[in-house]
Amino acid sequence: MDLGISGRTAFVLGASTGIGYAIARQLLEAGVSVTIASRHNVSLTTAAHRLSEFGDVATLVVDATDESASATLNNHFKDDTLDMLVVAIGGSIRSTFDELNDTDWEANYALNVLGPVRAIRTLVPNLRRSASGSILLLGAAASKMPYKNQVVSNVHKAGTLALVKTLALEFADDGIRVNAVAPGRTKTRLWLDRAATMAADRGCTPEQILEEFSQEIPIGRFAEPEEIASVAAFVVSERASYMTGQNISVDGGIGRGLL
């Protein structure tokens, strides 16, 4: 499908690996010039090298949870026009409510809420210069269906939904659409690391952990990052030009709610 975005620009925050990397690849394949960002130069440069076969890619090292991120983004983008902003950072902590302290809450808030907010606030002037600006956030199945022992990200990913709805209203007059894609369990570092830790605790293999968690998914398996990215690329593109304020589940059917 022609996404109608060839020749445009995108910034994908959190794209050295995982879902953000897969989104960057799909945007490059659609003819977009993409800047990818993450915290670590080596993995980011490696990612850019792999992505360069698909199109025009630049890199930016930034920690979105640090308040210096705004200056870093401003210095990089200056007065440039930006057509698409994708924020693919985020994560969760598997813990009971009792085990979590203020530091856990603040760190997860910085990653899931304040970091994305900071990036949007800094780059919205660049998006306003676009004829059709578009912002995409990464929610989670948990934003609609809270999981036991994941209260921190349940709360913060629900915040992503509220952020998307509010910004869709506030930025509509600027011609900027704001949406989210909400992945279910996806085979990225986030889950592979978690499976390795749980396997070590239980004395089994990471594959057995993934198989156990797959059994709760109607489709019967984890998503590949590309399966989330193809929906994300559509939502952020011109093909979804009448869609704003939405949170699109791509979760293999694990979400049980009607809405």
Kind plus residue range of the DSSP H or E element containing 34: strand 33-38
- Please tell me whether residue 252 binds ligand NAP under the rule CB under 6 A: no
**Closest distance between ligand NAP and the C-beta of residue 131, in Å?**
28
Contact positions with ligand NAP (CB under 6 A) in 158-197:
183, 185-186, 188-191
Rounded-to-integer distance, Cα 223 and Cα 242, Å = 27
User: Of 9-17, 27-35, 49-57, 242-250, which segment contacts ligand NAP by CB under 6 A?
Assistant: 9-17
**Closest distance between ligand NAP and the C-beta of residue 257, in Å?**
16
**Closest distance between ligand NAP and the C-beta of residue 47, in Å?**
7
Contact map string, positions 10 to 49, toward ligand NAP, x by CB under 6 A: ---xxxxxxxx----------------xxxx--x------
**Closest distance between ligand NAP and the C-beta of residue 2, in Å?**
26
212, 204 Cβ separation under 8 angstroms: no
Helix (H, G, I), strand (E, B) or coil at 43: helix
93, 108 Cβ separation under 8 angstroms: yes
Helix (H, G, I), strand (E, B) or coil at 247: strand
Q: Nearer Cβ to ligand NAP, position 112 or 134? A: 112
Which of 23, 88, 113, 151 forms a contact with ligand NAP (CB under 6 A)? 88
Kind plus residue range of the DSSP H or E element containing 59: strand 57-61
Q: Indicate the DSSP class of residue 22.
A: H
b/e per residue 21-31 (b: at least 16 CB within 10 A): bbbbbbbbebb
243, 179 Cβ separation under 8 angstroms: yes
- Please tell me whether residue 247 binds ligand NAP under the rule CB under 6 A: no
Which of 64, 82, 84, 250 forms a contact with ligand NAP (CB under 6 A)? 64
Rounded-to-integer distance, Cα 221 and Cα 225, Å = 13
For ligand NAP, the binding residues (CB under 6 A) are 13-20, 37-40, 43, 62-65, 88-91, 111, 115, 138, 140, 183, 185-186, 188-191
